Structure 1
Amino acid sequence: MTRGNQRDIDRARAQKRKEKAGAGKKGADDGLTPAQRKERDAKALQEKAAKKAAEAAKAGK
């Protein structure tokens, strides 16, 4: 049950996909402390809720 070099090729391809996919995303490794991340996420949720409320008010008129 030998696969030859297929495993190595698959690992290289997976690494390239991981680098490409991770280039534009914010992830857990963004250099923020947990407190900073929590603050950033709370602010984003507040903005999202405010935008949703504004759209609901606009649609209700």
Structure 2
Amino acid sequence: MARGNQREKAREKNLKAQGNTGKKTNMTGSEFQKNKDDVAAIMRAKQAAAEAKKNGEGDSAAKKK
């Protein structure tokens, strides 16, 4: 009988430990949205630069032939 109680206690402990592993943020909704927009703007700039570089290399390769 004592073994059953031990299992229950172990299950409770495990569930409690699993619950604490989540990532939490301290940002408010508007701060989170602003951060998201800033990151998106940076990524758009990087993509535009990569596209320009890709197009530039394609044009110069065509001119060489």
Deviation of 1:13 after TM superposition, in Å, equals: 7.2
Cα 1:17–1:33 shift into 2, 3 Å: closer
In 1, Cα distance between equivalents of 2:31 and 2:42: 17
In 1, Cα distance between equivalents of 2:16 and 2:48: 42
Structure 2 regions of 5+ residues with no counterpart? 57-65
Give the match's secondary structure for 2:27.
Answer: coil
Structure 1 regions of 5+ residues with no counterpart? none
What pairs up with 1:50-61 in 2 under 5 angstroms?
50-61=45-56
Identical amino acids, percent of aligned pairs: 18
Matched pairs, number: 50
TM-score (norm 2): 0.57
Q: Aligned pair 1:15/2:10, yes or no?
A: no
In 2, Cα distance between equivalents of 1:38 and 1:57: 28
Larger radius of gyration: 2
In 2, Cα distance between equivalents of 1:14 and 1:44: 34
Structure with the largest fraction of helix:
2
TM-score (norm 1): 0.60
